Structure 1
């Protein structure tokens, strides 16, 4: 079932929903103020937002390129070639790596 006003185009924040835009802005500002990667739990505590709700916001910001999942970036940069390993989902080393998020900074 299609909802009115929903299209198949990429997610855009509508002007009529300032609350959503405000929360995404607060999330970005919190990461910038921290000046270090933060976990979902740290962001949840700092913003007073349920982790489940925050997860959706993080996924949106990851998808549009505003955030980086540092654990995924570590896998990509791994000299042990973890990214091509067929055992990656069971890797004890990766299981201990916390999932953190940081801002993607534009190079000038």
Structure 2
């Protein structure tokens, strides 16, 4: 997967929101898995473009444990927990 710049992410969102481009089309254009594109679109749609202004975050152990417990014990979907916690990608929970 290629690393997307902030400008790329904004363009992806604009193509989707304003021009109705599909995640498949965006995936091919930017060389990114369509699942990751869909997560990015949900994240920006839910939190707005300001979510892209965050810098790299190191999460404390208690935060990680609470997130994992939501998935394993509470049986919440990993993607929903990722989105709820505004994680930069849904793969963090899986990892």
When normalised by structure 1's length, the TM-score is 0.33
Which protein has greater RCO, CA pairs closer than 8 Å, 6+ apart? Answer: 1
Tell me which structure has the larger Cα radius of gyration.
Answer: 1
Write 1 or 2 for the structure with the bigger share of helix: 2
